[in-house]
Amino acid sequence: MSVFDLMIVHTQNEKSSKQAWDTLVKMYNIITQAHKMELKQKLYNLQKNKMNMTNYFTMVKNLT
């Protein structure tokens, strides 16, 4: 099953392309919001401790 197949499954009952698009926007917006919350939690729990700044910033960059 491809990504395209998954999109069809979620939009096959919509009556117009606008409705299909709105359904996909809602679906992917939820994923985005969940990802934002996860990143916020990781940043909140991040601690520098005894790391130097270069290593700390590398760790921050690699959170995603």
> Contact at 8 Å (CB) between 48 and 56?
yes
Give the span between the Cα atoms of 11 and 14, in whole angstroms.
6
Average pLDDT score over residue span 41-60: 90
| Extended beta strands in the chain, E state | none
The whole domain housing 46 covers 3-61
**pLDDT tens track for 13-43:** 999 999 999 988 888 888 788 888 998 999 8
Instruction: Say whether 14 sits in a helix, a strand or coil.
Output: coil
Domain count, the chain: 1
